[in-house]
Structure formats: structure tokens, C-alpha cells
Amino acid sequence: MGKIDFKPGNMLYPLPAVLVTVRDAEGRDNMLTIAWVGTVCTNPPMLYISVRPERYSYHALKDSGEFVVNLTTADMARAVDYCGVRSGKDVDKFEVTGLTRRDAAKVNVPVIEDSPVNIECRVRDVLELGSHHMFLADVVHVTVDDRYMDEKGTFHLERANPLVYSHGIYCDIGNFIGTFGYSVRKRKKKKR
């Protein structure tokens, strides 16, 4: 077994498969599937999404400067895929998928009620990078499904069975391996 040279490309997989919600100037709502999304900064909280300019929702994003990143679950996989292969100019994706829209708290864009996490964002900057334009955004509000909160107030996204995308394949996140820092944590001695 060895390594071979491979064409340059984006090999950072898996990625979260999210549904981004937008609202255009005429008040039409849409959802688009995006896997090119990520954390930019903790303080202030910021994230990015990358979108091709030819996508139907691109102009709603650019014109309104607001969007919501809705995390998805394995149960939502069919809707996530549908929203990635059908255009909102031709169909009302909320109606077809049966996902429930609700008004966001801080932005004029709907959130997906079925999502375990809704991250409301305002665009700070748009970087025109080539095939995709990166929307750099401030996180202005987050809502989480209380079904995944424990008695200590800790949110457990893993209990929602999050959906990820890897080179054309949707997957759940798999089995628990350890928590952050487990490799260096001292083991508790067993009482005898």
C-alpha cells in the first residue's frame, strides 16, 4: 500500500450537509443545500457559506445580507438531497419536502423548525473567489431543539444523528470515539 499523486481539489470531507434558508426581496422563501460551510471565528461568532453565483438563491443572499444555517439530521436526508438538486425558481421546497418554516428571531429569513440547530446570520463580506463566492457572516442568534439538552444545560447534537456529506454520499456521524481531550485525560482509578 502506498500513496499516489492525485489532482488538486477539495479533500476536506466529511462536511456538514446543511440547509440554508433565504428570503428574496419579493418575500419568497427558499432552502438550498450547502456542504461548503464552516466556522471562521469564536469571538465574535462567525461562519461562512460558499455559493455559486448561478444558484437561484445567490441574489437573495447578496441582496438581503441575511441567511440561516439549519443543521440537518439523517431523518432529513431526503429533503436535504432534494433541496440540492431542485431549484427554488421552479418549486416551493417547503411545500414539496414538508419541512416546517418558522420566523427567525433576529433576521428576516425563515428557520426550519425540523432542524436541531438554527444559526441566524448577517453577511459581513462577500469574497468572490472563483466558482464560488464566500459569504462571511456574523452569527446573530442561535436556537436549539430542547430535546437534545441534558439536565446540566449541555446541548448534545450527536443525539440528533447529524447528517454529513462526503464526495457525493450522505452519512450520519457514526459511533462515539471520545470527547475533546480524552487522549490526555487522566484515567480514574477504580475503587476496590
Per DSSP, helices labelled H in the chain are 58-64, 77-85, 93-97
What does DSSP assign to residue 106? Answer: S
What was the pLDDT predicted at 33? 96
| Chain segment 52-103, per-residue pLDDT in tens | 999 999 999 999 999 999 999 999 999 999 999 999 998 999 999 999 999 9
Query: Using one digit for the tens of pLDDT, what is the confidence trace for 3-62?
Result: 988 888 877 889 999 999 999 999 999 999 999 999 999 999 999 999 999 999 999 999
- Whole-angstrom distance, CA of residue 183 vs CA of residue 73: 28
Cell 431549484 belongs to: 87
Q: Cβ distance 80 to 93 under 8 Å?
A: no
Contact 77, 163 (CB under 8 A): yes
Q: In Å, what is the CA distance from 5 to each residue of 2, 8, 14, 167, 183? A: 10, 9, 21, 18, 32
* Domain spans in the chain, listed from the N-terminal domain onward: 15-172
Q: Which residues contact 27 (CB under 8 A, 6 or more apart)?
A: none
Asked whether 107 and 123 are in contact (CB, 8 A), the reply is: no
CATH assignment, 15-172: 2.30.110.10
Query: What's the confidence (pLDDT) of residue 177?
Result: 66
Whole-prediction pTM value?
A: 0.91
pLDDT at 190 over 70: no
What 3-state DSSP class applies to 41? strand
Q: Please determine, for residue 191, whether its predicted confidence score (pLDDT) is greater than 90.
A: no
